[in-house]
Structure 1
Amino acid sequence: MIYINARFLTQDVTGVQRFAEQICMELVGLRDDVVLLAPKDIKRSSLPSGLNIQTIGKKSGHYWEQIELPRYLKSIGSPLLVNLCSTAPVFYKNQIVTHHDVTYKRYKKSFSLKFRMLYSMLVPMMLRSSKALITVSEFSKSEILKCFRYDPKKIHIVYNAVGDEFSHDFERSDKSEKYLLAVSSPNFHKNFHGMLEAYNLLRRNHNSDIKLKVIGKSSASFATQDFSTNAKDENITFLGRVDDSELISLYQNATAFVFPSFYEGFGIPPLEAQACGCPVISSNKASMPEVLNDSVIYFDPYNIPEMSDAMLKITSDSALRNMLVNAGLENVKKYSWKNSAEKVNSIIETATASRA
């Protein structure tokens, strides 16, 4: 049997949890010996059929992952454990680990001191205990190698992708409303503050009537930031968390999608937007040129006027938007959860063969 660390089922869904869940769903179609081990406090009750989920232990969080999970595995003969999020039991030897990025080292302002200290302790130990390391881009691989000592031959690139539900086959529900869409969080490296400055500059200099809608965490999370005065702007709507059906509708009806991050290990939202037929303007930093290639309009996220100019171009030029819609649809074809799961399965096969 192959066991998956399914602690992610107890967490809110971000890109990390999306990766883990989608890979698991595809893996069960490739092999019949996959078991997901999870704490009892699973958050998502509407999980897809076919996932063999076994709850173990009495605790949750790091205690469950570091103590109860490896204790259970050792009691059944220490089988291979596959970890698809960014942490793993640090003293368990027979495992494959995943580390999505090192944002916590590059942009310390985005994380608490406690979080940074915990990861700085856990990750090197986790890497030493691993048979192989999965990460999500060549960019992340290079960043991990700069921060940690690890054999580059044991690092495998497994890209994110977009589910089939993200589709451009639709009829716009409201052609009258024009808006830019962003999926963001208050974390500093997401550069929400810069995007707001660029948007305000667009409206101030060009009298634009375009609105801005922001998805992510809660409106309260944004409202407590230094840019909280924008929370009262009737042209800016903070939507908080939305389910996938609402997210897809927002992508499909947006004039364009804005991705202003300073740092991303991969960045799923621009691909989701492209799959829904939404043109994208994006930061030119970190993994974004690797993931998006030539399918978007790029800007320097540290250059507010440049970001604002990109907003102006995409909102005022319908021919450019149409070109980027087509380019985006072609770009998305390069990514597949099935192909990514096949790569993970190949890594699993190599790890199990080496132990035989």
Structure 2
Amino acid sequence: MTIYVNARFLTQELTGVQRFAEQVSLALNTQRNDLIFVSPAGVLRKNVAEELNVKIIPGGTGHKWEQVALPSFLRKKGSPLLLNLGSTAPVFYNNKIMTHHDVTYKRYPQSYSRKFRLLYNSLIPLMLRGSKHVITVSEFSKNEIAKVYSFPHEKISVVYNAVGAEFSPAHGVGKENYFLAVSSPNYHKNFHGMIEAFIALNKESNVRLKIIGKASASFSTMDFSEFLSTSDKVEFMGRVDDSQLIELYQNALAFVFPSFYEGFGLPPLEAQACGCPVMSSNQASMPEVLKNSVLYFDPANMDDIKNAMDKMISDTETRNRLINAGYENSKRFSWEESALKVSNLLNSLS
């Protein structure tokens, strides 16, 4: 039986959700020969589309394509099973598996635009109700989805993120004098707390703070001008490509992950794979994903964040221990194993 995969994620900028969908798709494609990947026009990563042999289905783009053109096309094919690895799916097409990473928009609505909140609060309950099964990225998120939407636990499977082989340590490269953070400047990411703690620390240190990433139109962004006016040691770098990102991970003194809420939290795992010691928030999914391989802090406590930063600067033994522990932790995750779990789910439902 042929299974269709919604590859709309290839028309979207590459963030954590799209990376998960892309990497699981690539691994699945090597494990199975019964998948057809379909997408609207406007593919951004054409090399991936070619590898997946993506079929372009006409009928608009974005939500219009996903909600109208895609289900119409599938019904003409006999309503086959549809695998959705992005964060949305056709509402009125029931022979589907959907992926939902987290319910941040419920827990921290101030992080999102009003339009995004209205869309998700309207569509997600309908998408869940019409799904045979749901994939999410951590046990934490599984429990959150079940709790918020009264959705059966047994219909939710956990499929972890992972890190590609290109994320690896650079041997013989010395660490530079900066902390690195990777994310978008939205409230639940807690960059305001991290920057405030860093500025307080930098009265006593010469370490710099480099921040990578930019906000999506779906997010409600925060204004950091007040912080930046008081420090010239904080640098917003915008988006960078993977090769630049890997080099920044490899050379950083340490990685900071201050988030209040994450369904999984891929950047600290990427940092660990590149030999970068990590200090992280102790909330949400982070203890599940990072276990005892990081220096934890309370993200709501500025002094706790500051003390973690200070320890990373002053304690070489702790940094070396976390480099080794982090590298081992990153190896617990594999795109191939995650894809195999999805493949087994497809076999059970198709």
Pairwise mapping of residues 20-169 of structure 1 onto structure 2 (< 5 A)? 20-47=21-48, 50-169=51-170
What is the aligned partner in structure 1 of residue 285 from structure 2? Answer: 287
Residue 89 of structure 1 aligns to a residue in which SS? coil
Query: In structure 2, what is the Cα distance between the partners aligned to 1:170 and 1:10?
Result: 36
Q: Which residue identity lines up with residue 99 of structure 1 in the other structure?
A: H
Query: In structure 2, what is the Cα distance between the partners aligned to 1:98 and 1:226?
Result: 31
Query: In structure 2, what is the Cα distance between the partners aligned to 1:107 and 1:287?
Result: 15
Q: Which residue identity lines up with residue 217 of structure 1 in the other structure?
A: K
Superposed CA deviations along residues 225-256 of structure 1, whole A, max 9, x for unmatched, are: 43214445431111100000000000000000
Residue 23 of structure 1 aligns to a residue in which SS? helix
What is the aligned partner in structure 1 of residue 304 from structure 2? Answer: 306
Query: In structure 2, what is the Cα distance between the partners aligned to 1:189 and 1:300?
Result: 14
Give, in angstroms, the shift of residue 103 of structure 1: 0.2
Pairwise mapping of residues 152-231 of structure 1 onto structure 2 (< 5 A)? 152-172=153-173, 175=175, 177-204=176-203, 207-217=204-214, 225-231=222-228
Query: In structure 2, what is the Cα distance between the partners aligned to 1:183 and 1:56?
Result: 34
The answer (yes or no) to whether the contact 1:170–1:252 under 8 Å persists in 2 is no
Superposed CA deviations along residues 64-115 of structure 1, whole A, max 9, x for unmatched, are: 1100110001111111100011110011011111100000000010011221
Query: In structure 1, what is the Cα distance between the partners aligned to 2:194 and 2:150?
Result: 35
1:2 aligns with 2:6: no
148-157 or 248-257, larger mean C-alpha shift: 148-157
Query: In structure 1, what is the Cα distance between the partners aligned to 2:19 and 2:13?
Result: 10
**After TM superposition, what 4+ stretches of structure 1 lie above 6 angstroms from structure 2?**
none
Query: In structure 2, what is the Cα distance between the partners aligned to 1:275 and 1:153?
Result: 32
Query: In structure 2, what is the Cα distance between the partners aligned to 1:333 and 1:156?
Result: 21
The answer (yes or no) to whether the contact 1:34–1:52 under 8 Å persists in 2 is no
What is the aligned partner in structure 2 of residue 261 from structure 1? Answer: 259
Query: In structure 1, what is the Cα distance between the partners aligned to 2:172 and 2:11?
Result: 35
TM-score w.r.t. length of structure 2: 0.95
Query: In structure 2, what is the Cα distance between the partners aligned to 1:88 and 1:108?
Result: 21
Superposed CA deviations along residues 162-185 of structure 1, whole A, max 9, x for unmatched, are: 00000014342x65x300000021
Query: In structure 1, what is the Cα distance between the partners aligned to 2:143 and 2:159?
Result: 14
Give, in angstroms, the shift of residue 350 of structure 1: 0.5
Residue 19 of structure 1 aligns to a residue in which SS? helix
Q: Which residue identity lines up with residue 89 of structure 2 in the other structure?
A: A
Query: In structure 1, what is the Cα distance between the partners aligned to 2:297 and 2:56?
Result: 46
The answer (yes or no) to whether the contact 1:231–1:238 under 8 Å persists in 2 is no
Residue 317 of structure 2 aligns to a residue in which SS? helix
TM-score w.r.t. length of structure 1: 0.94
Give, in angstroms, the shift of residue 46 of structure 1: 3.2
Residue 51 of structure 2 aligns to a residue in which SS? coil
**Coordinate RMSD, CA, aligned:** 1.8
Query: In structure 2, what is the Cα distance between the partners aligned to 1:6 and 1:344?
Result: 15
What is the aligned partner in structure 2 of residue 338 from structure 1? Answer: 336
Residue 237 of structure 1 aligns to a residue in which SS? strand
User: Number of paired residues?
Assistant: 346
Query: In structure 2, what is the Cα distance between the partners aligned to 1:19 and 1:226?
Result: 29
Residue 120 of structure 1 aligns to a residue in which SS? helix
